[in-house]
Structure 1
Amino acid sequence: MNVRQWCRDLGMGVRFAFTGGREGWVRMVLTAVGVGLGVALLLLTTALPNVLTVRHQREEARQDFTYSTKVPPRADNTVLVGESDTKWHSRDIRGRRLQPEGRRAPLPPGLDRFPAKGDMVVSPALKELLSSDGAKLLRQRLPYRITGTIGEPGLIGSQELAYYAGADDLVTEPGSTRVARLSAFGEAHPTTERADPVLILMMLVVFVVLLMPVAVFIAAAVRFGGERRDRRLAALRLVGSDSRMTRRIAAGEALAGALLGLVVGTGFFLLGRQAAGSVEVLGESFFPSYLDPSPALVALVAVAVPAAAVLVTLLAMRGVVVEPLGVVRTAKQARRRLWWRLLLPLAGLGMLYPMIGQGRSNGDFNQYLVIGGVMLLLVGVTALLPWVVEAVVARLGSGAVSWQLAIRRLQLTSGSAARMVNGIAVAVAGAIALQMLFAGVESQYTKETGRDPNRVQMEVDLSDGARLDVAAREFQHTKGVRASVAISSGGLGDKRRDPDHTAGITVGDCAALRELAHLPSCRDGDVFVVPDAHDEAAVKAFTPGRHGFIEPTYTEGDRGREIPWTIPAGLRHVTARKDALQTNVNGLLVTPSVLPARAAPTLYQQVYVRLDPAVPDAEEYVRTTAARVDPLANAWHWTSTEQSGKYASLRTGLLIGAICVLSLIGASLLVSQLEQLRERRKLLSSLVAFGTRRRTLGLSVLWQTAVPIALGLLLASAVGLALGTVLLKMAATPVAVDWASVVSMTGAGAAVVITVTLLSLPPLFRLMRPEGLRTE
């Protein structure tokens, strides 16, 4: 068979698709919508690498950390940047105070000029938030006049909350953590941290799991209206076409639907791309310009989708005999064979088996084996499900009339029922495996902070030069605060420069020191020492009468900041509390009057706050007070554990992707359901004309959906548990089944199908009319 004949037959099928009258156009539209939904998600996926790249580039371009212990000299091209981040009801607000030191001071990305003192430039999302009715406390916290908005190059997302405020009181010193002097924005010291093999494994599995349901739905969408199409093709046999030519013409019709689906999918993608700039999902937002797919990947989608449509149709037509006098499809089919269907998941397990036990200490996982193994396991679901549905429904039958109607229909068209469920089954199987993997390795990316949120709910770290005593009084009178504890801390060396022994020094009143150690008695003027079990020599080096230096300097540091201090008499040994407000309490604990006055500004200053849970927005009142007493203060909430940022970002990406895929599944299922109802319009009208109750027919449609879905979810759970177990063994993590996640994922899949079924009932009832028997 030459290429010209193939092209001629495919072209004839394309013409039939567009000139097949009303029925042909309806089928074309349904196919195009089904394929288009899948194509839109594929295009979105091809844009993800660019999204991640652009976000990372913009984050780097506005980077204002110097990573240096030395402060560069003031010059005409330098600017002081003070970090003033805050939060508003769990939403992060990126804040910076700017103080240019010369005419050539660098501007951060997104700004065309520096804001004056008392002014600020804000992101569009923050401007909208500040103008809302419920943001009174936030307006008090940011008492600046808005004079402009930050441009897109200065933001990483359309809904990011950020501002730049003008200042004239910033000062930077060696060791400052809140103010930096810059001659240019951008990361000067990019990190070269080695990628975590387990995180890469999880990322690969996430992409495969999210894309497989899309591919399954596209393959199912190109077969919409298959029964009517096959009956039309029978007419071609009467005019002389052979079986092979008929299959190629059928493939041409599917090709037409796929090509139209590409156009529709591109339209869906462009609409979604434009809408992406106004939505925020799980705290993440994007600009439409981020969603710029790679041309190579777009070309791959443009070629792969029509090719898949042709291939799927040719394979499907192998099981259908189109004769001049009809279609031999409804005759009793040969039972599906099981052996070759088992080969797919077994081959997938075989590809993953060599990496079992590899973990993160034995190099990177083989990407091709991971992708191939996971794909074969998930494809195995689509291969096994038709056999499972056929085997089970063949043994069902007796029951109510609606049950018998449903089971008989499933016995005749078990393949169609399985195709509708395949996408849900694949999605659920992959989701269960991923949830097991994420739950299994979560402890490896979560560490204890040593903090007890039951004792203190918030900590406020003040900047250099802030008045700790003033801040302590302000927090005592803040609404929603039960109590506050003010503590400052620093270092003590036995020499002015490059000391041989060092010890911590913590300053606070007696009430504050009792939050750190068990004190027998205390009054202002007392000094205590908590022995350091890891450095006994340091304890001996700091005894009453010995000279030390507060804030000693080191080789790379600037001299002149050391403060001499003689350790007073009456030093008493105490033990640290197990639930101390600070971790690793050791060294000297001193009351304020003992310390030289000029030492106070050199110490790190914190205020620990206990909140009243009965006061709404107590945390926001604390943040507002912190901003008032020190615009550069960092107020943050205590948690007992903290999670790796990369792990948390990957999990957030998975949830966003899962929402998109479930939305696609729901939309595609609804289109598929409507197509099946359209094909059975005459049958439904006939049953109603003979007196069948609509309630019976409605229940039969529900049973036709419920039985395959139940079987599909059971199979998906089994495959998902198997895949999850293998992935955990590959990550060298103990295998444990997160049954709550299994139930929730299965329930989510069932909820999507139930919702789609309920939405299809109104069209079903409209089709149950005797008028449906009319034909042209």
Structure 2
Amino acid sequence: MIGFGLRLTLRGGREAAVRLVVTAAAVALGVGLILVTLAGINGVDAQNARYAWLNSGVTDATSPTAEPSPDPLWGMLGADIHDGARITRVDVAATGPRSPVPPGIPRLPGPGQYYASPALGALLDSVPAAELGARYPGRRVGTIGAAALPSPDSMIIIVGRTAEELARTPGAAKITSIATRSPGDCTGCRFGLNADVLGLILAVTSAALLFPMLIFIGTATRLSAARREQRFAAMRLVGATPRQVSVVSAVESTVAAAAGTVAGFGLFLLLRIPLADVPFTGEPFAPGDLSLTPVDVLLVAVGVPLAAAVAARIALRRVRISPLGVSRRITPRPPRAYRLIPLVLGVGELAYFVGRRPDTTNGQILAYISGILLMMAGLLIAGPWLTMAGSRIMARRARRPVTLIAARRLADDPRAGFRAVSGLVLALFVTSTAVGVMTTMIAERGVPDAGPAARGTLMVDLSRGEAERGAPEASGAPVPDRVLAGLRSAPGVRGVTVIHTNPLGTMVPVGRWHMEAGLVACEQFAGMPGFGRCAPGAVAASVPPHFGAFDTSASSAWSRTVWPAAAISAERLRDLPAQGVLVRTDGSRQAIERTRTALAAAFPDPRWPPTTVAEAGADAENARILAGFQQLAGVVTVVSLCIAGCSLAVSVVAGLNDRKRAFSLLRLAGVELGTLRRVVVLESTVPLLIAAVVAAGSGFLAARLFLEAQLQYALRPPGAGYYVMVGAGLAVSLGVIASTLPLLRRVTGPETARNE
């Protein structure tokens, strides 16, 4: 029977060939998505492993079996910024010839030497030294190798210092061995990715895409289902056993699945390098990161064809019931309202955890992911009942034969009507959920839309270093006049203001809070028009101690603020310790970076580099991760809609092929071709629109419940891009339906009724 099944599959005519190609294409897309997901999880692990050395000195990051070096290494982690890009700075100093050496470099740099990553080295070579290179005195002695770079675009510098210098520097620590444990397993690590969360996101994304993919496979398998069912029923009538019919059916499905699996591996290899450039984790992957393990390959090579064969077998399950079951066509029982129960349970589960968020990460994953997946399954189960309800409403309001025929056909078999758009239902649900969550998270956590004053003004927070030394802030010193004069004379600088510590204990309102104010001289503050002004006649004013620590999206209101006067003389204010410095520039990149370099030289502290007020008020790391999630959401949306469009096209064509005899008889009875076309359009459009409304609403409901339960955020409405995208998807779907209408003339001619 296997040989007979192969002949039917490979020599079964054009219909068999089309069905084989479409099913193989569906499987290829599914395999490609699974391989990309598995490779992405492996890529996150590989990238995380290269973050490990940056956590050296953290107890949890060091392997317990690592042998400590007899000559400790002094090390200190710092940071820098250039044109919004983050630079990781590592200061090191050897205490002996056997001090541990970080990966990626052959030896430790000596005082006045440094190693730079390729991306940072290219930047150092392309910009003037006054804008970046002068911050790292000495000379470059080499390039950091890939073993120490989480990403090809990582900008890292390893600066050599003397042991005496670092021993006196706050934040420096002795390191006896280089950390090798993954930051995902380390509670105190500053650098690295939460691999479990990212892997979960990739897995859920894959599951969200595989649902429509399996629907596509099942739809493709049903191409010319009526003809095949008749063929298999005829085989039963001439003596074939159910097992033999199952073997013939399984052979066709297995051949298509095997071909699709091979094509899927080829698709993955083709897309692996371009996909590595997608900064899902905030930085792109190295090309070798997106790799597969032998277990991954075996799992996909065996599991996907098996799942495709099962999906195909379910699509033809009626043949096993009775050899006459295909001929005895009767109206199936209408769907019952109990189909709504899974959808209601999914909503109820998510609603239950609002205000009852589980304490553990695993508990949260189980609670929210299971609820969302239950809603996805509920939409598929409830879809036929919703289609039937819509068709009955349409039938009661029908005033024309076309509407009545379409409504009756949908009411007779709502499962078939919904099957055509089921892929689109899941696509819109996934899209709406992803867009709702990402829009809200970016609004709450993204980079604020700071004004020009915040973007063009640099600040140095001098109180952080003093606080970490354990000294009171008043123990600092005033900023030397020569430093202020040098800053004011720099090209592009428009004003310099020193924020002094406040011995008066006055408070200033900052958003919803009141904080101890800093003091500024009104003469200096007049050069900072974007940050408010002093009261008329005031010598000094009370201002926020660190403008950049607050929401810079409110910076437009600063220019209208009149800060309260401070009861202190100009002479006493001048002698007070400085807790911060504000430097307003003309906003050009050159002026900002030159001023940043000058401030770094005047106030050297690698841990707290000079930043613009906008940069200080934004979580750059979080913004990069959110940008990666937003890109992933876009990929999910586009792929889901493409799969749904393909599924819709195949389903409409399959429906026309299966009903061509009925349509041919209607034409012979005098029904015009235009009437039949309008019937087909209505049959496809009504479930499509019902599904779009229900799926989009369910997606936003799931997003709202998740945000309220997990993050205590209120759902933010999506931008115009979402509505344009959904409208374009529906327009394309309608275009797909319209593109199948010319087929109706060809398959409903008189010869069809005669030959059938």
- Compute the TM-score of the two structures, normalised by the length of structure 1: 0.67
Residues 123 and 604 of structure 1, relative CA distance in 2, 3 Å threshold? farther
Conservation of the 8 A alpha-carbon contact between 1:508 and 1:592: no
Within 1, Cα distance between the matches of 2:51 and 2:161? 23
- Among 631, 636, 645, the alignment partner of 1:661 is 636
Structure 2 distance, partners of 1:138, 1:209, is: 45
User: Which residue, 76, 82, 85 being the options, matches 1:87?
Assistant: 82
AA aligned opposite 1:186? A
**Cα-Cα RMSD:** 6.1
What's the secondary structure of 1:62's corresponding residue? helix
Q: Relative to total residues, which structure has the larger helix share, 1 or 2?
A: 2
Cα-to-partner distance string for 1:710-761 (whole Å, 9 max, x where unaligned) = 2222111332344345445644948x443337x7656534434545766898
Provide the residue aligned with 2:208 in structure 1.
Answer: 212
The match for 2:698 is 719
1:116-127 paired onto structure 2 within 5 Å: 121-126=115-120
Letter in 2 for 1:275: P
1:135-182: per-residue Cα shift (whole Å, max 9, x none)? 5468942369877543222111233333446678993354535x6665
Could you report, residue by residue, the CA deviation over 1:79-119 in whole angstroms, capped at 9, with x for unpaired residues?
6667352233x332334466656544443322234568887
Query: Quick one: which amino acid aligns to residue 234 of structure 1?
Result: Q
Paired residue for 2:105? 111
1:28-61 superposed Cα distances (whole Å, 9 cap, x missing partner): 2321221222222223333444333333332221
Q: Residue in 1 aligned with 2:725? A: 748
Q: Is 2:501–2:578's contact at 8 Å kept on the other side of the alignment?
A: yes
- Name the structure 2 match of 1:44: 36
Q: Is the 8 A contact 1:77 1:103 kept in 2?
A: no
Once the two structures are TM-superposed, the CA of residue 63 in structure 1 deviates from its matched residue by 3.0
> Contact (CA 8 Å) 2:212, 2:643: kept in 1 or not?
no
Partner AA of 2:355 in structure 1: G
Deviates more, 1:274-283 or 1:625-634: 625-634
Distance 2:85 2:729 in 1: 30
Name 2:717's counterpart in structure 1.
739
2:429 corresponds to = 429
Q: Distance in 1 between matches of 2:293 and 2:534?
A: 63
Q: Distance in 1 between matches of 2:90 and 2:218?
A: 53
Q: Tell me the secondary structure at the aligned position of residue 276 of structure 1.
A: helix
Q: Does 1:476 align with 2:488?
A: yes
Please say if residues 460 and 609 of structure 2, whose CA atoms lie closer than 8 Å, have aligned partners that are also in contact: yes
User: In the alignment, is residue 317 of structure 1 matched against residue 316 of structure 2?
Assistant: yes
* Amino acid corresponding to residue 276 of structure 1 in structure 2: L
Q: For 1:31, which of 23, 35, 38 is the aligned residue?
A: 23
Change (3 A) 1:126 1:20: farther
Secondary structure of the corresponding residue to residue 740 of structure 1: coil
Q: What is the Cα deviation at residue 224 of structure 1?
A: 0.4
* CA deviation string 1:478-523 (max 9, x = no partner): 45432122457799xxxxxxxxxxxx99998775699999899999
1:17 aligns with 2:17: no
Q: Which moved more, 1:361-370 or 1:257-266?
A: 361-370
Give secondary structure in 2 for the equivalent of 1:108: coil
Judge conservation of contact 1:506–1:589 (CA < 8 Å) in 2: no
Question: After superposition, where does 1:566-585 map in structure 2 within 5 Å?
Answer: 576-577=542-543, 581=547
User: Could you tell me whether the CA contact under 8 Å between 1:35 and 1:258 is conserved in 2?
Assistant: yes
What TM-score results when the alignment is normalised by the length of structure 2?
Answer: 0.68
2:414 and 2:123 map into 1 onto residues whose CA distance is 54
In 2, Cα distance between equivalents of 1:695 and 1:123? 67
Kindly indicate whether residue 612 of structure 2 is the aligned counterpart of residue 637 of structure 1. Answer: yes
Alpha-carbon displacement from aligned partner over 1:653-683 (angstroms, at most 9, x marks no partner) = 5434323322322442354355457658989
The alignment status of 1:54 with 2:54, answered yes or no, reads no
1:339 maps to which of 317, 337, 340:
337
Paired position in structure 2 for 1:545: none
The answer (yes or no) to whether the contact 1:428–1:745 under 8 Å persists in 2 is no
Does residue 286 of structure 1 match 2:263? Answer: no
Q: Give the partner amino acid of 2:612.
A: H
How do 1:321-720 and structure 2 match up within 5 A?
333-334=331-332, 336-349=334-347, 355-359=353-357, 365=363, 367-368=365-366, 370-393=368-391, 396=394, 415=415, 418-433=418-433, 457-460=457-460, 469=481, 471-486=483-498, 511=523, 576-577=542-543, 581=547, 606-612=580-586, 615=588, 619-623=592-596, 625-626=598-599, 632=606, 634-639=609-614, 651-652=626-627, 654-672=629-647, 675=650, 707-720=686-699
SS in 2 for 1:93: strand
- After superposition, the Cα gap between the structure-2 partners of 1:367 and 1:630, relative to the gap in structure 1 and judged at 3 Å, is closer
Change (3 A) 1:136 1:87: closer
Structure 1 residues 323 and 770: alpha-carbon distance in aligned structure 2, compared to 1, 3 A threshold? same
Relative to structure 1, the CA distance from residue 51 to residue 148 in structure 2 (aligned partners, 3 Å threshold; closer, same or farther) is: same
Please state how far the C-alpha of 1:380 moved relative to its aligned partner: 0.7
- Rounded to whole Å, the distance in 2 between the matches of 1:512 and 1:436 is 46
Q: Which moved more, 1:214-223 or 1:202-211?
A: 202-211
Gaps of 5+ in 1: 1-7, 68-73, 492-503, 524-573, 597-602
Q: 1:276 — aligned with what?
A: 275
Q: 1:379 to 1:261 in 2, by over 3 A?
A: same
Matches of 1:129 and 1:753 in 2, distance apart?
46
Summarize the Cα distance change of 1:96–1:362 in structure 2 as closer, same or farther, 3 Å threshold: closer
| Corresponding position of 1:550 | none
Query: Partner amino acid for 2:370?
Result: G
Report the AA paired with residue 46 of structure 1.
L
For the structure 1 residues 61 and 142, does the alpha-carbon distance in structure 2 shift closer, same or farther, using more than 3 Å as the test? same
Deviates more, 1:752-761 or 1:297-306: 752-761
Q: Give me the whole-angstrom Cα distance separating, in 1, the residues matched to 2:147 and 2:30.
A: 31
Partner of 1:226: 222
Whole-Å separation in 2 of the counterparts to 1:700 and 1:171: 84
Q: Report the 3-state secondary structure (helix = DSSP H, G, I; strand = E; otherwise coil) of the residue aligned with 2:332.
A: coil
Provide the C-alpha distance between the structure 1 equivalents of 2:306 and 2:709, rounded to a whole number of angstroms: 35
Query: Would the alpha carbon gap of residues 476 and 129 (structure 1) be closer, same or farther in structure 2, given more than 3 Å must change?
Result: same
Distance 1:746 1:297, change over 3 A: farther
Work out the CA distance in 1 between the residues paired with 2:277 and 2:437: 33
Q: Is the 8 A contact 1:110 1:151 kept in 2?
A: yes
Mapped partners of 1:290, 1:52: distance in 2: 8
Given residue 30 of structure 1, which amino acid in structure 2 is its aligned partner? Answer: V
Structure-2 change in CA distance of 1:390 and 1:77 (3 Å): same
Percentage of matched positions with identical amino acids? 22
CA distance in 1, matches of 2:574, 2:707: 57
Q: Secondary structure at the match of 1:346?
A: helix
How far apart are the structure 2 equivalents of 1:282 and 1:211?
20
Give 2:33's aligned amino acid: L
Is the Cα contact below 8 Å between 1:259 and 1:306 reproduced in 2?
yes
The offset of 1:361, in angstroms, is: 5.9
**Does the C-alpha gap of structure 1 residues 223 and 593 become closer, same or farther in structure 2, counting only changes over 3 Å?**
closer
Q: Is the 8 A contact 2:75 2:90 kept in 1?
A: no
- The CA distance in 2 between the partners of 1:114 and 1:696, in whole Å, is 82
1:228 offset after TM fit, Å? 1.9
User: Which among 158, 162, 179 is matched to residue 156 of structure 2?
Assistant: 162
Contact persistence 1:446–1:641 (CA under 8 A)? no
Deviates more, 1:135-144 or 1:375-384: 135-144
Amino acid at match of 2:581: V
Q: What number of residue pairs does the alignment pair up?
A: 681
Structure 1 residues 693, 175: closer, same or farther in 2, change over 3 A? farther
